[in-house]
Structure 1
Amino acid sequence: MNDININKFKITDSVQLESLPTSLQNKPEKDELKHLLKETRKKLADWQDKLYAHNRYAVLVCLQGMDTAGKDSLVREVFKGFNSRGVVVHSFKTPTSRELKHDFLWRHYCALPEKGKFGVFNRTHYENVLVTKVHPTYILNERLPGITSVNDIDQNFWNKRYEEIRNFEKHISRNGIIVFKFFLNISKEEQRQRLLRRLRKPSKNWKFSPGDLEERKLWDKYRSCYEEAINNTAGEDLPWYVIPADSKHAARYLVAKVMQEKLFKYQEVQEPNLSPGILKNLDDYRKQLEKE
């Protein structure tokens, strides 16, 4: 699996989600996947140190998926071992009253990573064309000009949002943010099993909400909205990666592998060289400290 072709999961044009796998064929055993992730995670953490020293790029990792897709545990496992000051995770919930006083992208601009750091959006700016499209009454809370009822929200409205998202991503990528967009693709049956585990295991009960079942009834609508969002925002420069996620261990490794292969192409990301004056006196500085 080390030589897996990540381009199999790369989406740059229109796609039908139903045609894409939710699990890998010939999937390695869990222990092997954990070992592969550990190796890849170490390489990424070392690269993050270079990113911080180089201080010209940042990395934004966008994670989307249906409920129970495994986003939280993926963040925990993929970024384990990173310098904690080099990774900032944002989980976007229902917009606050302050956020609703701004345009829908404002809070996402505010959360972008600084140069030298990784930022992770656990649920992202795409919620504004996903959950709001499934529940269009949420749009009314934005108090937009000309939008006074859900009848005012037509396809042209969503097309403009896709355009605004594309422009947002182009803008930040041109200014040094390397953008990854991952959709964790699970099957409806796997979601059912994960919800059941939340109910069966007392230690997981806290994760369950009756609202999960209500949202599950809207599975087809959510999938349709995801497909439309991906098809309207995927491109060669800013592709989506649709990751088979019925196995959490496989999904974690694949996400890490995608990042490694793309980030290691940025060969200019290196620690800066010391000035000749400091370099030639390194032995003297060392001797001064050793004499103390």
Structure 2
Amino acid sequence: MKRKDFKVPENFNLSEIATAYATDLPKSEIKLQLKKYRKKIAEIQDKMYADNRYSVLISFQGMDTAGKDSMIREVFKGFNARGVVVESFKTPSYKELQHDFMWRHYVKLPEKGKFTIFNRTQYENVLVTRVHPEYLLNERNPFIDINNLTDDFWNERMNKMVEFEEFWFNNGTIILKFFLHLSKTEQKNRLLKRLEEPKHQWKFSPGDLKERDFWDNYQFCYEQVLKKSNHKRAPWYIVPSDDKDISRLIVAKIIYKTLKKITEIDYPKPEPEILEKISEYKTALSSDK
């Protein structure tokens, strides 16, 4: 289970990339490994929060039921709440639509020393809108003609996103992007499970079934995103996600392997005058009743 195994290949067909990952590890060991890496990432987060120079942006994309919500819950549950924010991008609000398509993402970027998790990302603007171009009408952009959209239009949007990511990186933001790769069969099984279990029925929407009719369209759009917006400073990883436990472990390991390379992150040293009086402060506190 090496990080390079999940990097985006130079030439690929998404339909030929496995949505399941073969491993001899029993479920108990997978969960134990996840717990170990979760702790390691949380330790780095604590140090990064104190260091207050780098920030981290973790982005998740995937079809409905790919496991984005549970991924975020299980991988980041050990984090100090002060240092992490989860942002979920659903249908744009009225206020968001009064700005350019990147605005609502830009204002949610992580502060120095913090992690931000994007549950869906700016790439929705070349995914769901490419499958449903009529949604672009909500942007009320006078230069967009939805009846004459070309590949150049979508490629230009993706190029702009890459430019933004380059800028964010150059300002100290570490960026990792994960595509949770789910099979259509597994999606069906998960939707059926939602319907069968009362506590999950609230998650189901008839729209989920309608969107399944556009499965091939979405796969094409995801493939284009992975090919055209994968770059060294904000790489995409394709994570087999038919098994949630395995996908969580893969993501946790990739995050840890990436962050541990930043060796200059450390807890700041106290001012010299404080260090000189450490024993004096300890004595004062010890004698304090």
Same fold (TM over 0.5): yes
Query: Are 1:12 and 1:235, in contact at CA under 8 Å, matched by a contact in 2?
Result: no
Q: What is the CA–CA distance in structure 1 between the aligned matches of 2:159 and 2:219, rounded to whole Å?
A: 20
Query: Are 1:12 and 1:240, in contact at CA under 8 Å, matched by a contact in 2?
Result: no
The residue type paired with residue 22 of structure 2 is Q
Confirm whether residue 257 of structure 1 aligns to residue 240 of structure 2.
Answer: no
Query: Are 1:100 and 1:141, in contact at CA under 8 Å, matched by a contact in 2?
Result: yes
Q: What is the CA–CA distance in structure 1 between the aligned matches of 2:12 and 2:169, rounded to whole Å?
A: 23
CA RMSD, Structure 1 to Structure 2 (Å)? 1.1
Q: 2:90 aligns with which of 89, 93, 100?
A: 93
Relative distance call for 1:270 and 1:12 in structure 2 (3 A) is: farther
Per-residue deviation, 1:14: 4.0
Confirm whether residue 21 of structure 1 aligns to residue 18 of structure 2.
Answer: yes
Per-residue deviation, 1:235: 1.9
Q: 1:141 aligns with which of 121, 138, 142?
A: 138
Deviation per CA, 1:234-282, whole angstroms, max 9, x where unpaired?
A: 1233221000111100011110100000000000010012233211211
Relative distance call for 1:141 and 1:182 in structure 2 (3 A) is: same
Relative distance call for 1:84 and 1:264 in structure 2 (3 A) is: same
Helix, strand or coil: the match of 2:179? strand
Q: What is the CA–CA distance in structure 2 between the aligned matches of 1:289 and 1:12, rounded to whole Å?
A: 59
Helix, strand or coil: the match of 1:234? coil
Equivalent position of 1:190 in the other structure: 186
Equivalent position of 2:29 in the other structure: 32
Q: 1:114 aligns with which of 111, 115, 118?
A: 111
The residue type paired with residue 284 of structure 2 is Q
Q: Which stretch has the larger CA shift, 43-52 or 267-276?
A: 267-276
Specify every segment of 5 or more residues in structure 2 that has no aligned partner in the other structure, as ranges: none
Q: What is the CA–CA distance in structure 2 between the aligned matches of 1:7 and 1:187, rounded to whole Å?
A: 22
Deviation per CA, 1:129-155, whole angstroms, max 9, x where unpaired?
A: 0000000001111111222x4213222
Relative distance call for 1:214 and 1:27 in structure 2 (3 A) is: farther
Helix, strand or coil: the match of 1:268? coil
Per-residue deviation, 1:5: 1.2
Q: What is the CA–CA distance in structure 2 between the aligned matches of 1:124 and 1:273, rounded to whole Å?
A: 37
The residue type paired with residue 139 of structure 2 is E
- After superposition, where does 1:1-292 map in structure 2 within 5 Å? 4-11=1-8, 13-147=10-144, 149-292=145-288
The residue type paired with residue 90 of structure 2 is K
Alignment identity in percent? Answer: 51
Aligned pair count reads: 288
Per-residue deviation, 1:15: 2.8
Q: What is the CA–CA distance in structure 1 between the aligned matches of 2:131 and 2:62, rounded to whole Å?
A: 15
Query: Are 2:165 and 2:233, in contact at CA under 8 Å, matched by a contact in 1?
Result: no
Q: What is the CA–CA distance in structure 2 between the aligned matches of 1:241 and 1:167, rounded to whole Å?
A: 19
Per-residue deviation, 1:157: 1.0
Helix, strand or coil: the match of 1:88? strand
Q: What is the CA–CA distance in structure 1 between the aligned matches of 2:110 and 2:169, rounded to whole Å?
A: 12
Specify every segment of 5 or more residues in structure 1 that has no aligned partner in the other structure, as ranges: none
Q: What is the CA–CA distance in structure 1 between the aligned matches of 2:238 and 2:114, rounded to whole Å?
A: 24
Q: What is the CA–CA distance in structure 2 between the aligned matches of 1:288 and 1:163, rounded to whole Å?
A: 60
Per-residue deviation, 1:27: 4.5
Deviation per CA, 1:82-137, whole angstroms, max 9, x where unpaired?
A: 10111100000111111111111101010001011100000000100000000000
Q: Which stretch has the larger CA shift, 271-280 or 134-143?
A: 271-280
Q: What is the CA–CA distance in structure 2 between the aligned matches of 1:138 and 1:238, rounded to whole Å?
A: 27
Per-residue deviation, 1:28: 1.9
Query: With structure 2 as the length reference, what TM-score do the two structures score?
Result: 0.97
Q: What is the CA–CA distance in structure 2 between the aligned matches of 1:130 and 1:157, rounded to whole Å?
A: 13
Q: What is the CA–CA distance in structure 1 between the aligned matches of 2:24 and 2:127, rounded to whole Å?
A: 31
Query: Are 1:14 and 1:230, in contact at CA under 8 Å, matched by a contact in 2?
Result: no
Q: What is the CA–CA distance in structure 2 between the aligned matches of 1:154 and 1:98, rounded to whole Å?
A: 28
